[in-house]
Structure 1
Amino acid sequence: MTIASEKEAPASTLSGKLGAGSIVFMVVAAAAPLTVIAGAVPLGIGAGNGAAFPAMFVLCAVVLGFFAVGFCAMSPHVPDAGAFFTYIRHGLGRPLGLGAAFLALATYAAVQAAVYGYVGAAIDELVTGFGGPSLPWWVWTGILMALVGILGYRHIELSSRVLGVLLVAEIAIVVVLDVVVTARGGAQGLSTAFLSPTQITSGAVGIAVMFAIASFIGFEATAVFRDEARDPQRTIPRATYLALAIVGVFYAVSTWAVVSAWGDDAAVAEAGANPGTFLLTTVQNWLGPLAGHVVSVLLVTSIFAAILSFHNVAARYWYALGNHGGMPAGLARTHARHGSPHAASLAQTALSFVIIAVCVVAGLDPVAQVFAWAAGTATLGVLVLLVLTCLAVIVFFARSGVDRRVWHTRIAPALGFLGLAVCLVLTIVNFPTLIGGSVALALGIGGLLVVVTAVGIVLALVRGERAPIGPGAEEGLTAQPPAAAPSV
């Protein structure tokens, strides 16, 4: 057997036997729960609606729950990897579908760039804190990029096992903090601010919602792994609901515990004054210095887990586009032994390398600029994709009639659309705050996302019937009978 034949499978088909638990590990890892508690939560408390911020996670989880109902109902009728791309293509047409695919690629490239910048600075701070040498942030980022590339090249189940270990570790330390704070009754009693409507609506509610919804980025990626799932029609819906429930409960309870650890007023003051060390100080105060060191290490592994998870998601977008004519067909090749989209994985690694290299040459700060700008870009992009997907679900079922359950195909998706549209508007209004930059920078980033989307739309229109975006897209609308839809 030649080297070429060992690397490439004869058919462009992904393989795997992932169960709901494995997919949940990858999706929740992308949400980076510990990083959210350490990064987004202090900002939501300090700059948002204060001690009532835990309620924002509950609100966003409910909205995303409505989204998930329609998302899962449509899953059996979208037999391709690609998530946003394939949903929007089937519901709103080929041009907008390819435009969404390009937007998704830009979005996941941005979120990877954000965490690559952050993790480089975090590792350097961790190493120097333990007496090690100080190296440029991009050295550490380059090492992790190579490791992510290796794992992404291999079988998806290896990534799943790695993410599972890292995820359990990062969640465990926060759960310990939650239990200790709750058992001791907090600093001034357990907080009840999240139950008060006046406190929930106080302060900058828009900023609070923006940081809360951004914390859920990645939960929708369950559908990306449908080709590698053991039983897609059952596994994908279960994984989607499980991931949303785990992330939503974890964020809300842990944020409430952190607020209780300080007391309402003190929590707002500390989060506003020292957002970067808010969680670390909380852990040291309640669990001791050793636990603080553990959190410092787990923050790095949490970010690494998020990078690996988003890499796997982005690679499957490259793969889906290669399969459907939106990108060179070579990207849809799969590895004979690993059954992985190795060519697509290499493409994503190369794109990440180019983006980080440009940031290094430009002399951008890894946290204040690379992380802030790229994370804001990703948040805006994902919200646009979520809104379009909700609309695609409604249109798809209205046109095809393959599922006539009113709640699953009309009411829940419509409520999700309205809620996500509000979140999108709030994010656009507060976008300069989210990226930590000027209005001009915000307009520039928004314009870039519009251009990327337009390129995909124009490409689909130019190619037309000569290179269809998805084989049998229209014909497949009624391929599945109503009974095939999951009854969840």
Structure 2
Amino acid sequence: MTQLESTGVAAPAKRSLTGSLGVTAIVFMVVAAASPLTVVGGAAPLGILIGNGVGFPSLYVISAVVLLLFSVGLATMARHVPKPGAFFTYAGYGLGRSTGLAAAWIAMLTYTTIQVSVYGYVGYILSYTVESVGGPSIAWWLFSLIVIALVGVLGYRHINLSSKVLGVLLVAEVGIVLVMVAAVMINGGPQGLSLDTFVPSNIASGSPGVGLMFAIAAFIGFEATAIFRDEAKNPNRTIPRATYAAVIGIGVFYTLASWGLVMAWGPDGIMDAAAEDPGNLILRTMSIYLGSAGEIITNILLITSMFACVLSFHNVVTRYQHSMSNAGVMPEKVGTVHHTHLSPHISSVVQTVTAAVLIVVFAIFQLDPVLQVFTWFAGVATLAIALLMALTSIAVIVYFAKTKKDRRVWQTIVAPGLGFVGLIVSAVLIIANFPVLVGDADADGNPVFGGVSWVLLALIVVFPLFGFVQAWWIRTRRPLAYAKLIDTISS
């Protein structure tokens, strides 16, 4: 990483991040991004209702297997490429500078859209909660801006503070869900406990492609373990272990939690319960099995869950921007590190302003915070991350084929290859079902590709295209800077 001169007159500005995050702290950071309670309370009921019904929990298992295969290559790459940046860096090392830069902008799109989608959702939940307890009616976007400000304050400070906040919130939300599952298992549910969710006919029922979208979306953020490399303690061991722990932990938890949700209502009753109101299914379930106290606690934790989610994604995006700045593709100042907090503070401010501006724009256009802001941009993020991980899988295979630095076939060819196939199949299913996700339909209500679908899908084309154009401009106008863009094996 090049040490660049600061604009000050004293010493060069610090540009390298440092820290001593262990496996547990990093896992907390990335699992918090997966927002467990938000997924169980929001995505799982929708996956059951408009996906494949009783068989939906099995899709978490399938997603976890695909992403675990992808993680093998990711972890192997992390051992041999001692740099943060994850997709941006790995795609550059494997497929060249231009592709690496294109990957960086896809990543920026992914994490920015998923973050702003949750800002919309948390703003709505806060507005609804305040009004439901007799408070004033306040616009959702005002609450979103307040949350953005709070996240900005924590993101500006040392990463250890964020990890501690996320750790407390994560333990609380996971704990309440596990208590619910335990209560369901003790009670037995209306139809008793069964493994109907894992029967092949139930897995293939309904619209499994739609269900897979919600399942994969639940894992977004796990791959960001490599982003924290410079702040990790013994990164060659910490990053791979954190990556595997995150995927396995997320997969097991979501499978168990969604299975418990199905058992709570019974295989024959879950669809009707979800259809009644998927948004509060988790609260109704908590009320039945844990009483009104459990329902109130869950409602509070649902809000803190979304706060933990946006805080985690904020930290991921700021570190992507930090890495891109130090590679010379974003303004130099974005890559500086605070002398006291040791955080990429300028990058944090940039991301805070970006999120605030987007929320204001959505408010001006009067977008619905859940049906449009949350759903549309979560859909964009899900497809973008699937394509980005597929690209990274190819980069891993190519990198080790060129360098011969690691000759283990499973880690460098087979696992990344299988992961690539699984991710591409998932991406195809997501694209085919994209109108369902964003609500595009014809006059009869049948899902069709319309204006919203095409505009949102275009973002996934425009962002990497910008990366390729930027790489071409740098190569043409600043050849020396291009040569140092990413110190890849070949251009």
Is residue 7–residue 335 contact of structure 1 (8 Å, CA) maintained in 2?
A: no
- The more displaced of 95-104 and 74-83 is 74-83
- Partner residue in 2 for 1:467: 481
- Partner residue in 1 for 2:468: 457
**Is residue 2:421 matched to residue 1:418?**
yes
Deviation at 1:191, TM superposition (A): 2.9
- Partner residue in 1 for 2:350: 347
- Partner residue in 1 for 2:224: 221
SS at match of 1:160: helix
- Partner residue in 2 for 1:319: 322
Partner Cα separation in structure 2 for residue 437 and residue 348 of structure 1: 30
User: What's the TM-score once normalised by structure 2's chain length?
Assistant: 0.94
Is residue 6–residue 336 contact of structure 1 (8 Å, CA) maintained in 2?
A: no
Structure 1 unaligned regions, length at least 5: 478-488
Call closer, same or farther: CA 1:294–1:6 in 2, change over 3 Å.
Answer: farther
Which of 162, 165, 169 is the equivalent residue of 2:165?
Answer: 162
Which of 187, 203, 209 is the equivalent residue of 2:206?
Answer: 203
Partner Cα separation in structure 2 for residue 470 and residue 199 of structure 1: 53
Deviation at 1:195, TM superposition (A): 2.6
The count of corresponding residues between Structure 1 and Structure 2 is 474
Partner Cα separation in structure 2 for residue 302 and residue 373 of structure 1: 20
Partner Cα separation in structure 1 for residue 342 and residue 392 of structure 2: 28
Moved segments of 4+, more than 4 Å: 4-9, 469-472
Question: Superposition pairs for residues 51-450 of structure 1, below 5 Å?
Answer: 51-437=54-440, 439=449, 440-450=451-461
Partner Cα separation in structure 1 for residue 402 and residue 489 of structure 2: 13
Partner Cα separation in structure 2 for residue 360 and residue 475 of structure 1: 46
Partner Cα separation in structure 2 for residue 179 and residue 333 of structure 1: 48
- The more displaced of 91-100 and 438-447 is 438-447
Call closer, same or farther: CA 1:387–1:13 in 2, change over 3 Å.
Answer: same
Call closer, same or farther: CA 1:298–1:328 in 2, change over 3 Å.
Answer: same
Q: Deviations over 1:182-238 (max 9, x none)?
A: 122222111321231111111111111111111111110100100100111000001
SS at match of 1:166: helix
Is residue 48–residue 205 contact of structure 1 (8 Å, CA) maintained in 2?
A: yes
Deviation at 1:472, TM superposition (A): 6.2
Deviation at 1:7, TM superposition (A): 12
One-letter amino acid of the counterpart of residue 145, structure 1? I
Call closer, same or farther: CA 1:472–1:275 in 2, change over 3 Å.
Answer: closer
Partner Cα separation in structure 1 for residue 251 and residue 486 of structure 2: 37
- Partner residue in 1 for 2:3: none
SS at match of 1:376: helix
Partner Cα separation in structure 2 for residue 42 and residue 78 of structure 1: 40
SS at match of 1:468: helix
Deviation at 1:332, TM superposition (A): 0.6
- Partner residue in 1 for 2:4: none
SS at match of 1:108: helix
Partner Cα separation in structure 1 for residue 121 and residue 110 of structure 2: 17
Q: Deviations over 1:36-66 (max 9, x none)?
A: 0011111111111111111110111011010
Is residue 332–residue 343 contact of structure 1 (8 Å, CA) maintained in 2?
A: yes
Deviation at 1:6, TM superposition (A): 13
Structure 2 unaligned regions, length at least 5: 1-6, 442-448
Is residue 191–residue 256 contact of structure 1 (8 Å, CA) maintained in 2?
A: no
SS at match of 1:145: helix
- The more displaced of 14-23 and 121-130 is 121-130
What is the alpha-carbon root mean square deviation over aligned residues?
1.8
Partner Cα separation in structure 1 for residue 483 and residue 316 of structure 2: 19
One-letter amino acid of the counterpart of residue 344, structure 1? S
Is residue 93–residue 486 contact of structure 2 (8 Å, CA) maintained in 1?
A: no
Is residue 126–residue 143 contact of structure 2 (8 Å, CA) maintained in 1?
A: yes
User: What's the TM-score once normalised by structure 1's chain length?
Assistant: 0.94
Is residue 324–residue 469 contact of structure 1 (8 Å, CA) maintained in 2?
A: no
SS at match of 1:264: coil
Is residue 25–residue 163 contact of structure 2 (8 Å, CA) maintained in 1?
A: yes
